[in-house]
């Protein structure tokens, strides 16, 4: 099929009945998509939509004001309603590092709007089924300090008031008391050593928790609650491991701190320390410091990147004249004796390069730990070994060395795995030891990890949490550009090779691929969202993978990186215009562009830096980043303009549809959905098109191009399910969930008429829309007004909207004063729990999960929801996936077709 743009011509045939008046109302889509002040005033007040979502905690920006002089370069912005004060802190004070885990709770700011109230009633959702102590929404932060800088740590706690009101076994939010008897959970030797200092400086006591208990509790929590926590690391390649919770135990936990503990874990609280070694992180750092005069652990680690251990270690090749000792599986590069070469030549310490010494030492210690771990796993018949502790620091070479030792000695039987939150096991465990925080049974789907601005980008000394204040963030991004600071992240790995016959070749994951800065924690802030649920209609949540395209293929990642980078300038223009184009908006826009580019570059360099990466994550990251710079709805005016234009032509479309027989109507409706999906401001090709005609012209053109068979065309099977064949008349579906996509023609002329058809046939319809804006997607907040407007022209929609509580005012008051629902089939709206063009069905709003319980038909619409994600998703009920492919590469890859081809994939339940 040719691209619709190629044929855009004045003699476009109109849809029968589209009137001229509507055409006139229709404005040209201007190039910038920018807005004059007047247009902006017309936009609905969606500024506070952010509070309405309630699904994912957000900043409370209400009553935000600039403090001091507006002309100032970096004025402080006050967020008086942002309550970050309800906190909860636990510490792990080790020999070299202090690890902090703290929780900040945000009050539930969701506005209980009319739509939500009526949906809650209808779906039987109430607070009544909550547990006795609530799981609180909030954020879990991970921070570390060097133990030698304990005063900085105390200042940090004080500045954030993290110690305020902490009571034993009672998290802060239960306590009104001031600091009397305040107690903070702490583990590690420093909990004893520094107890007096904490009392003196902060007036709090440290409640000491057993270190082993904490390590195990922390590891168990992470392995159960965080989806992509554990990964393997072999020959420079990182792969996340999907763990079956039922088969987690037993495992060996190896915690590499200053010393090393090896713990056999059999369950929650069930473990035994089976071994350990005194040759650990402290040994590397201590010996390394003596031998190289390095000033910090990280400096030592950085040195190792440029090292060649062949000058220090005696290798098999040295003994065998450059040959492998293949009979016992040793390559020439295998270390026969660590530091062995230093005895045989007449050299002083000063004659050796510190880089080489550091590398030899690192290899010696990592290999030794790997080998002892394997022997202990063998002792107890354990197959899985998880390595944690801050010795590892996400250091590729350390992990490769350990993995190699485990793999080599176990002949591939045992597996070494690493943890993303490696250094925080103890602190997390101490945190978990507070009773009744309600976090112990949190599940993976209730946690959303976010990577905000701040520490992750700096190579330097920034420690502590992400920058909190918007202004801080902007200034930071400005400085970031001025200094041209490089992001400290590894460059792409060389293609993995082989380590030969059991030995180490020059490591692949070395040199520039090493991450040397300790500040790159590689862990984000964990947002705890207790209301998120797994979509109940997924056929197999365990094997469900939302992303269709695998971004671990580097060329794919590069392609999407380029697409998103090229789209950035346009997006910033729209975002700035959506905020009135003020200087402040421009400044924020620039900062956003820099921050997002930095995220992209970071991910290009290390795609797994933020956990497993899919296209959906990239697209969501962009939206999150916009929100972080307080652009809450960049496409607001475009959406509104397109809604108005489409609503104006809706009556004629409905008339035309009503003049058709059922079969022709169904086809026209599906065609309509596919055609109207062209209104996608996230697709470069489509945006180019919009400069060539009005919304309605483009819509018509797109409809005229709808020729079957579509590239994926299951329409006949769908029609048969809906209309039957011959005399047989199938039962209508009971309830359909329609995952809607874009505003304007897409929802008004595409999905709403389809919803109307289902309603007409007696199927309840739930429109599922985004909780937060993303591109030009329609949100759940915006839908009731759109439906109400459409309902003015259509009885079916009006009655259904009344029955679904969408048009509340029109409901009849009954004798007892309550609003009585009409007995018509209802049309409802629920939010999906996300703010992205894609949807991960493992994390949806509880409202949607409740609505899904009675549904027997799911319709997913759009490229983001039906192609980028969920194209391969299987459902327990009938599923229809409808989308126009608006990207040439995706069309070729996914459906072996071309841009503007359509997908109508119908998968009946079995």
Q: Is 831 in the site for Mn ion (CB under 5 A)?
A: no
Residue with Cβ nearer ligand PAZ (99 or 865): 865
Residue with Cβ nearer ligand PAZ (775 or 877): 775
Q: How far is the CB of 898 from ligand PAZ (least distance, A)?
A: 13
Residue with Cβ nearer Mn ion (741 or 856): 741
Residue with Cβ nearer ligand PAZ (291 or 563): 563
Half-sphere exposure of 888 (CA within 13 A, CB side): 6
User: Do 514 and 827 contact (CB within 8 A), yes or no?
Assistant: no
Residue with Cβ nearer ligand PAZ (219 or 899): 899
Residue with Cβ nearer Mn ion (360 or 836): 836
DSSP string across 460-509: SS--SSPP-SHHHHHHHHHHHHHHTPPP--PPPPPPP---TTTS--S-SS
Residue with Cβ nearer ligand PAZ (388 or 835): 835
CA dist list (Å): 371 to 251, 374, 406, 414, 509: 16, 5, 6, 11, 20
Q: Token match 């394997």: residue?
A: 374
Q: Is 741 in the site for Mn ion (CB under 5 A)?
A: yes
User: Which residues contact ligand PAZ (rule: CB under 6 A)?
Assistant: 563, 619, 677, 680, 682-685, 741-742, 775, 837, 862-865, 868, 883, 886-887
CA–CA dist 43, 459 (Å, integer):
42
Q: How far is the CB of 866 from ligand PAZ (least distance, A)?
A: 8
Kindly report the backbone phi and psi dihedral angles of residue 649, in degrees, each rounded to the nearest multiple of 5, phi listed first: -100, -5
Q: How far is the CB of 561 from ligand PAZ (least distance, A)?
A: 12
Residue with Cβ nearer ligand PAZ (273 or 684): 684
Q: How far is the CB of 613 from ligand PAZ (least distance, A)?
A: 16
Site for Mn ion in 832-851 (CB under 5 A): 837
Residue with Cβ nearer Mn ion (633 or 741): 741
* Contact of residue 684 among Mn ion, ligand PAZ, none (CB under 5-8 Å per partner type): ligand PAZ
Q: How far is the CB of 848 from Mn ion (least distance, A)?
A: 17
Q: How far is the CB of 652 from ligand PAZ (least distance, A)?
A: 25
What distance separates the 2 farthest-apart alpha carbons in the chain? Answer: 104
β-pairing verdict for 735-739 and 857-861: parallel
User: Which contacts qualify for 715-722: CB closer than 8 Å, 24 or more apart?
Assistant: 715/667, 715/670, 715/904, 715/906, 717/906, 717/908, 718/670, 718/880, 718/904, 718/906, 719/663, 719/666, 719/667, 721/878, 721/906, 721/908, 722/666, 722/761
User: Do 154 and 198 contact (CB within 8 A), yes or no?
Assistant: yes
Kindly report the backbone phi and psi dihedral angles of residue 528, in degrees, each rounded to the nearest multiple of 5, phi listed first: -95, 115
* Contact of residue 471 among ligand PAZ, Mn ion, none (CB under 5-8 Å per partner type): none
Q: Is 697 in the site for Mn ion (CB under 5 A)?
A: no
User: Do 461 and 66 contact (CB within 8 A), yes or no?
Assistant: no
* Contact of residue 868 among Mn ion, ligand PAZ, none (CB under 5-8 Å per partner type): ligand PAZ
Tokens of 575: 């975002």
Q: How far is the CB of 713 from Mn ion (least distance, A)?
A: 22
DSSP category for residue 72: S
Q: How far is the CB of 606 from ligand PAZ (least distance, A)?
A: 23
Tokens of 719: 């029609």
| 553 CB neighbour count, 10 Å cutoff | 11
* Contact of residue 236 among ligand PAZ, Mn ion, none (CB under 5-8 Å per partner type): none
Stretch that binds Mn ion, among 338-346, 529-537, 728-736, 831-839 (CB under 5 A): 831-839
* Contact of residue 887 among ligand PAZ, Mn ion, none (CB under 5-8 Å per partner type): ligand PAZ
Q: How far is the CB of 160 from ligand PAZ (least distance, A)?
A: 37
DSSP string across 790-836: HHTT-HHHHHHHHHTTSS-TTSEE-TTSSEEPPSSPPEEEEE-S--S
* Contact of residue 683 among ligand PAZ, Mn ion, none (CB under 5-8 Å per partner type): ligand PAZ
Q: How far is the CB of 548 from ligand PAZ (least distance, A)?
A: 11
Site for Mn ion in 760-799 (CB under 5 A): 777
Residue with Cβ nearer Mn ion (215 or 751): 751
Q: Is 548 in the site for Mn ion (CB under 5 A)?
A: no
Q: Is 742 in the site for Mn ion (CB under 5 A)?
A: yes
Q: How far is the CB of 863 from Mn ion (least distance, A)?
A: 7
Residue with Cβ nearer ligand PAZ (223 or 884): 884
DSSP string across 106-168: --------HHHHHHHHHHT--GGGS-SSPPPPEEEEEEEEEGGGHHHHHHHHHHHTTTTT-BT
Residues 6+ positions from 75 with CB-CB distance below 8 Å: 66, 67, 68, 69, 471
Residue with Cβ nearer ligand PAZ (400 or 741): 741
Residue nearest to ligand PAZ (CB): 682
Q: Is 355 in the site for Mn ion (CB under 5 A)?
A: no
* Contact of residue 627 among ligand PAZ, Mn ion, none (CB under 5-8 Å per partner type): none
Q: How far is the CB of 670 from ligand PAZ (least distance, A)?
A: 16
Positions in the binding site for Mn ion (CB under 5 A) = 741-742, 777, 837, 862
């Amino acid at each position: 099929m040719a691209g619709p743009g190629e044929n855009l011509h004045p003699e476009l045939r109109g849809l029968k009945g589209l009137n001229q008046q509507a055409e006139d109302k229709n404005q040209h889509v201007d190039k910038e998509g920018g807005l004059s002040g007047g247009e902006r005033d017309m936009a609905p007040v969606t500024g506070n939509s952010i509070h309405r979502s309630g699904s994912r905690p957000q900043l409370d920006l209400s009553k935000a004001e600039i403090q001091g002089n507006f002309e100032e370069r970096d004025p402080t912005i006050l967020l008086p309603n942002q309550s970050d004060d309800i906190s909860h802190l636990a510490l792990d004070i080790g020999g070299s590092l202090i690890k902090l885990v703290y929780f900040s709770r945000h009050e539930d700011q969701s506005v209980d709007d009319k739509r939500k109230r009526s949906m809650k009633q209808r779906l039987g959702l109430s607070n009544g089924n909550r547990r006795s102590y609530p799981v609180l929404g909030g954020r879990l932060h991970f921070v570390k300090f060097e133990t030698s800088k304990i005063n900085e740590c105390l200042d940090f706690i004080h500045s954030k008031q993290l110690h305020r009101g902490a009571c034993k076994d009672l998290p802060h939010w239960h306590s009104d008391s001031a600091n009397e008897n305040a107690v903070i959970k702490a583990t590690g030797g420093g909990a004893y050593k520094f107890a007096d200092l904490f009392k003196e400086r902060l007036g709090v006591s440290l409640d000491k928790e057993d270190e082993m208990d904490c390590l195990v509790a922390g590891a168990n929590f992470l392995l159960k609650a965080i989806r992509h926590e554990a990964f393997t690391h072999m020959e420079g390649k990182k792969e996340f491991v999907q763990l079956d919770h039922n088969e987690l135990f037993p495992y060996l936990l190896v915690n590499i701190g200053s010393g090393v503990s090896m713990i056999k874990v059999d369950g929650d609280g069930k473990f035994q320390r089976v071994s350990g070694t005194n040759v650990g992180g402290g040994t590397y750092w201590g010996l390394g410091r003596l031998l190289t005069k390095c000033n910090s652990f990280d400096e030592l680690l950085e040195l190792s990147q440029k090292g060649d251990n062949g000058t220090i270690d005696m290798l098999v090749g040295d003994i065998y004249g450059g040959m492998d000792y293949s009979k016992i599986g040793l390559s020439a590069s295998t270390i026969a004796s660590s530091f062995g070469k230093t005895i045989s030549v007449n050299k002083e310490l000063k004659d050796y390069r510190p880089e080489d010494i550091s590398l030899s030492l690192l290899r010696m210690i990592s290999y030794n730990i790997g080998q002892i771990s394997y022997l202990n796993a063998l002792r107890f018949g354990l197959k899985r070994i998880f390595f944690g502790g801050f010795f590892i620091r996400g250091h590729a070479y350390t992990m490769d060395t350990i993995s190699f030792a485990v793999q080599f000695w176990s002949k591939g039987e045992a597996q070494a795995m690493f943890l993303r939150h490696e250094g925080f096991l103890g602190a997390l465990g101490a945190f978990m030891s507070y009773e009744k925080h309600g976090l112990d049974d949190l599940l993976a789907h209730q946690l959303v990890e976010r990577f905000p601005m701040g520490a992750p980008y700096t190579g330097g000394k920034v420690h502590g949490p992400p920058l909190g204040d918007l202004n801080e963030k902007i200034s930071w991004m400005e400085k970031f550009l001025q200094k041209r600071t490089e992001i400290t992240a590894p460059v792409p790995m060389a293609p993995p090779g082989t380590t030969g016959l059991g030995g180490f070749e020059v490591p692949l994951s070395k040199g520039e691929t090493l991450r040397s800065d300790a500040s790159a924690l590689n862990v984000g802030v964990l947002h705890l969202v207790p209301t998120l649920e797994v979509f109940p209609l997924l056929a197999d949540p365990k094997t469900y993978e939302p992303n269709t395209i695998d971004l671990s293929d580097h060329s794919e990642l590069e392609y999407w990186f380029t697409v998103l980078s090229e789209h950035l300038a346009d997006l910033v223009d729209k975002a700035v215009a959506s905020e009135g184009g003020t200087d402040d908006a421009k400044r924020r826009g620039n900062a956003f562009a820099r921050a997002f580019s930095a995220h992209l570059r970071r991910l290009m360099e290390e795609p797994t830096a933020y956990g497993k990466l899919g296209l959906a994550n990239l697209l969501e990251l962009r939206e999150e980043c916009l929100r972080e710079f307080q652009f809450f709805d960049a496409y607001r005016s475009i959406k509104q303009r397109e809604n108005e234009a489409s609503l104006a032509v809706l009556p004629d479309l409905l008339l035309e549809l009503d003049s058709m027989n059922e079969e022709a109507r169904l086809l026209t409706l599906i065609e309509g959905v596919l055609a109207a999906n062209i209104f996608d401001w996230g697709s470069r090709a489509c945006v180019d098109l919009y400069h060539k005609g009005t919304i309605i012209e483009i819509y018509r053109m797109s409809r005229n191009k709808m020729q079957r068979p579509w590239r994926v065309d299951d329409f006949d099977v769908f029609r048969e399910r809906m209309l039957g064949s011959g005399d047989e008349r199938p039962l209508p579906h009971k309830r359909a969930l329609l995952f809607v996509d874009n505003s304007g023609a897409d929802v008004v002329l595409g999905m709403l008429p389809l919803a109307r058809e289902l309603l007409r046939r007696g199927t309840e319809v739930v429109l599922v829309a985004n909780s937060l804006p993303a591109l030009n997607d329609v949100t759940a907040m915006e839908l009731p007004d759109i439906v109400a407007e459409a309902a003015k022209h259509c009885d079916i929609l009006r009655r259904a909207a009344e029955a679904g509580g969408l048009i509340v005012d029109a409901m009849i008051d009954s004798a007892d004063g309550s609003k009585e629902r009409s007995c018509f089939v209802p049309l409802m709206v629920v939010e999906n729990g996300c703010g992205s063009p894609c949807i991960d069905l493992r994390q949806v709003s509880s409202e949607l999960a409740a609505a899904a319980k009675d549904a027997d038909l799911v319709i997913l619409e759009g490229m983001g929801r039906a192609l980028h994600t969920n194209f391969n998703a299987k459902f327990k009920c009938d599923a229809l996936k409808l989308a126009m492919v608006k990207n040439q590469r995706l069309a070729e890859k996914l459906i072996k077709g071309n841009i503007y081809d359509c997908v109508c994939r119908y998968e009946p339940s079995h």
